[in-house]
Amino acid sequence: MLSVALNERTMYEDFDLEKEILYFKVGAEGLVSLHAHHFSRKVQLSPTDLKALMKRKGYYAISSSCYINLSRIRAIISGVVYFDSDRNSSKMLTVSKRTEQKLKQLLAL
């Protein structure tokens, strides 16, 4: 059991959060779902690591449990945030109109 926890910790530390992670969702008891272009991974984080991740520069809270990497956004169209130029194979998130406007202001799109 301990080796599994250590492996998850190493995998989290090996991520380049600015380049790989598109967005992340925070669950109960420090469980975080990291979403990248080709994969999603759930990791258990300590309260200290979780706070540091949520306060990380370049991420914006689009809800109380979902944080989006502003540098990875490619387009925002009709309430949908796209993370790649090819909309057919891109990961995407739906957002409210208010959040869409705020993101556009932050990105000056």
Domains contained in the chain, CATH given: 2-107 (2.40.50.1020)
What per-residue confidence (pLDDT) applies to 3?
A: 43
- Distance in angstroms (rounded) separating the CA atoms of residues 102 and 97: 9
- Give how far the C-alpha of residue 60 lies from the chain's centroid of Cα atoms, to the nearest Å: 9
- Over the stretch 31-67, which tens digit does the pLDDT of each residue have? 999 998 888 889 998 999 889 989 989 999 999 999 9
State residue 38 phi and psi, 5-degree precision.
-110, 5
